[in-house]
Every structure is written in C-alpha cells, then in structure tokens.
Amino acid sequence: MSTSTTAPDDAKLQMRSIIQRVATGPELSKDISQEEARAAMSAILDNKVDPVQAGIFLIALRMKRETDDEVKGILDAIREATGSVVAEVDDVVDIADPYDGYNRCLPAAPFLMPVLAELGVPAISHGAHAVGPKFGVTHRHVLEAAGVAVDLSPIEAAGRLSDPAIGWAYVDQRAFCAPLHNLVDLRTTMVKRQAITTAEVLARPIHGRKHTHLVTGYVHKPYPRIYALLARHAGFDSALLIRGTEGGVIPSLRQKGTCFSYQHGGEEVPFEIDPRELGIEQPVRAVALPDDLPQTKRPGDEIAVAVDVAATARAAAQAGTQALEGLKGPTYDSLVFTGALILWHLGRAESQADAADRVREVLDSGRAAQRLGQ
C-alpha cells in the first residue's frame, strides 16, 4: 500500500503549487520532477486532495504532454500502492492488455495464459471491470464468462502460478491496488485518457523468483519507447511490445507489423513480424464481432455506439474455449501468433515458426482447455 506520510494540509499545498506550474497554458506550463509527480499521485491515491484538483493535475499533464520523469513518478506512486507478491516460480509472463478493453473485435488474449502455462511458461493477466475512455470488453469480462475465478487475491493468484496443474491466473486491479481502482469514477468524469492509463498496466502485481517479463500492446508510434522506459523503471527483466489490434497484444492477422523488445533491461529494438511466415492466412485483421450482437449507447455519449459487454464477453468466451479445444479460425490463429512471439522472445524456441508449431500442438491436443477448466 501507499507509504506516503504527507499530511493532508501539506499535500493540498503541494498540489496547489504543482497545479500552478503545470496548468498555465501551452507556452508557460512547467514540468515537475519525478518526485513531485510521485508525491502528487500518492496524495491522489490516498484521497488527500480534492477530486477537482486531482482531475486538473492529470488533465494539465496530458495537455502539456507528460515528461518521462512525470510518468515515472506516477508509476512509482501506483507501484507503492500495489500489493505485489512473488510467485514460487522462476519466471512470470505479465500480459498487460488495455484496461479499457475492446469494442471492435472479440478479444482472444484472455486465453493466452493457459496456452503458455501448458508450454511451461507461468503467466498472468490483470485488468478491471470497466475503465474509460473505451469501457470495452476486458479480460475480466471474458474470463468470468468462461467460468474462471476473477476475484483472486494476489496471493491466491500467485499460488495458481505455482500449481503444476494450473500455471496461470487473472488478478483484478480492485484486489492488488484498491486505491487506484477507486479512481474509476474520477477518470470517467475526466473523459480523456491520462497518464494513469499508460502507467497502470506496469503495476507488476506478481513477480517471478528470478525474472518477470512484460508483454503489452501499442498502436501509436511514440508508445514503444515510453512503455520500454517504464518497464525498465518498474524492474521488468524483459519486455515484448506488440503493435496490436485496439492496442492489445494480438497483432493483425493479415498484414506485417512492427514489434519492439528488450532483454535483461537493455535498450528496446524493433523487429518485423509477418503472419504468413507463421502459416497464418486470414482475411481479417482480428476476430470479428458476431453480426447478431446487440449494441448499446454509452450513458452521456450521443455519438459512440458501444457493444453489449455481457453478450460480447460470452461470444469471446465461447470462441476462446473452442480455440483451446483445437477449433481452427481467427481466435485459434490469434493465440498461435502471439503465443509464438512470446515463446520466441523468451528464447524457448529457435524461430517464430517453430514456436508457432509448438503452440498449434498444444491447441490441437486440447491440453490448454483442461487448464482453463482448472
């Protein structure tokens, strides 16, 4: 939990000083230090400042554009408030999909963890129920629809990683960082994305005894550098940054793409990926939404059409379960593609093509589906 010892009055004075500097317009706004950003975010998490000031602080940073030190400070505060656990396994793969979920395709990534576990790679994912700005279908929604426990404590989740029959888990933000989860309403009121959205996926709630590896996605070109910077800062031994559909970890199934990775805390390097080289031939970029899914309107949004979260989660759970049982299709290929990239990144296969064959063998055998049932 947060270790902040700043008194409420001191926190308010410090936040006032910070806002006076960061919220003075595009030409006069000033940057703040990493420690000041950490202190401000800690005060927000500890509920020591007014929500209006918290919102101004986060939006002002966004409007002037956050510096590296400012985002690192925000991540520091989040990690101080995170209840983290070391699992009794040497390596953990941390799959960090966007917390605000998906609304243009069926998410396949929630089913990567049992595949990786069957391949001897303990893996977790983490997220939340509903977070803006997208408020889409999340790992929690899909896994819950598939009958998986989604309200584990970090200790319980870590225990599942060390169980040879399971080897994977989902842990919710409400369980590992309740102060951050309590800001969901504030973030909804702010509407736009803020630095929290970038930093929260690096909270690192479960570590391996020796190594912890980040796998996350991006869309916009500036983000690989930022995610790599923050991943090193958070202590991830390696990171795999995938240009994925809707910012997730599943790349396009029909076109080449660019990923970035680093090993042993070093500098990130780009590399190209091509689904055809892994035997993937799909006419679609991602798993399409079924035509018969109901659509809804978001409260207060007269323009955006949102998917029905519960119905979409059920459809994704069905598609994912069938893929784990060996049914060929876009979800199956999604698991092959990203599963292969992860195996290759970890040095568990000589080539991406070899890694893809190993993932297919696991899917075709149905063994990963048994881990889902556990």
**Residue where a domain terminates, one of 80, 109, 128:** 80
Both 45 and 190 in a single domain?
Answer: no
For the domain that residue 54 is a member of, what is the CATH number? 1.20.970.10
Both 47 and 96 in a single domain?
Answer: no
pLDDT for the residue 45: 96
Q: Which two tokens stand for residue 67?
A: 């510096």
Both 237 and 98 in a single domain?
Answer: yes
- CA-CA distance, 80 to 109, in Å (whole number)? 28
Confirm whether 219 is domain-assigned. Answer: yes
Confirm whether 3 is domain-assigned. Answer: no
**Residue where a domain terminates, one of 80, 114, 130:** 80
Both 75 and 216 in a single domain?
Answer: no
Residues in contact with 11: Cβ distance below 8 Å, sequence separation at least 6, in sequence order: 4, 39, 43, 46, 48, 49
- CA-CA distance, 235 to 84, in Å (whole number)? 13
Residue 348, burial from CB neighbour count under 10 angstroms (0-12, 13-18, 19+):
middle
Confirm whether 2 is domain-assigned. Answer: no
Both 234 and 264 in a single domain?
Answer: yes
Confirm whether 296 is domain-assigned. Answer: yes
Both 93 and 40 in a single domain?
Answer: no
Confirm whether 59 is domain-assigned. Answer: yes
Confirm whether 333 is domain-assigned. Answer: yes
Assess contact for 117 and 145: CB atoms under 8 A: no
In DSSP terms, 269 is beta-bridged to 261
Amino acid at site 129: H
Residue whose structure tokens are 């505060």: 77
Both 69 and 141 in a single domain?
Answer: no
Confirm whether 162 is domain-assigned. Answer: yes
Both 360 and 263 in a single domain?
Answer: yes
Q: How far is CA 250 from the centre of its chain?
A: 12
Assess contact for 93 and 275: CB atoms under 8 A: no
- CA-CA distance, 13 to 55, in Å (whole number)? 16
Both 353 and 225 in a single domain?
Answer: yes
Measured torsion, CA atoms of residues 60, 66, 69, 75, in degrees rounded to the nearest 10: 80
pLDDT for the residue 304: 46
pLDDT for the residue 188: 86
Q: Give how far Cα 317 sits from Cα of 113, 141, 310, Å.
A: 14, 9, 10
Confirm whether 250 is domain-assigned. Answer: yes
- Domain count for the chain: 2
Both 352 and 261 in a single domain?
Answer: yes
* Domain containing residue 255: 88-373
Residue 222, burial from CB neighbour count under 10 angstroms (0-12, 13-18, 19+):
exposed
Q: Where are the beta strands (DSSP E) in the chain?
A: 85-86, 91-96, 123-127, 168-172, 206-207, 211-218, 238-243, 257-262, 269-273, 295-297, 305-307
Both 41 and 170 in a single domain?
Answer: no
Question: pTM for this one?
Answer: 0.92
Residues in contact with 353: Cβ distance below 8 Å, sequence separation at least 6, in sequence order: 277, 278, 279, 340
Assess contact for 219 and 195: CB atoms under 8 A: no
pLDDT for the residue 374: 77
Strands 295-297 and 305-307: antiparallel
Both 131 and 114 in a single domain?
Answer: yes
Distance linking the first and last C-alpha atoms of the chain? 31
pLDDT for the residue 124: 98
- CA-CA distance, 289 to 122, in Å (whole number)? 30
**Residue where a domain terminates, one of 27, 45, 80:** 80
DSSP 3-state assignment of 214?
A: strand
Residues in contact with 278: Cβ distance below 8 Å, sequence separation at least 6, in sequence order: 336, 337, 340, 352, 353, 356
Query: Per-residue pLDDT for the chain (374 aa), expressed as one digit of tens each?
Result: 454 556 667 888 888 888 889 888 777 789 999 999 999 999 999 999 999 999 999 999 998 899 999 999 999 999 999 989 999 999 999 999 999 999 999 999 999 999 999 999 999 999 999 887 788 999 999 999 999 999 999 999 999 999 999 999 999 999 999 999 999 999 888 877 889 999 999 999 999 999 999 999 999 999 999 999 999 999 999 999 999 999 999 999 999 999 999 999 999 999 999 999 999 999 999 999 998 888 766 555 544 446 799 999 999 999 999 999 999 999 999 999 999 999 999 999 999 999 999 999 999 999 999 999 77
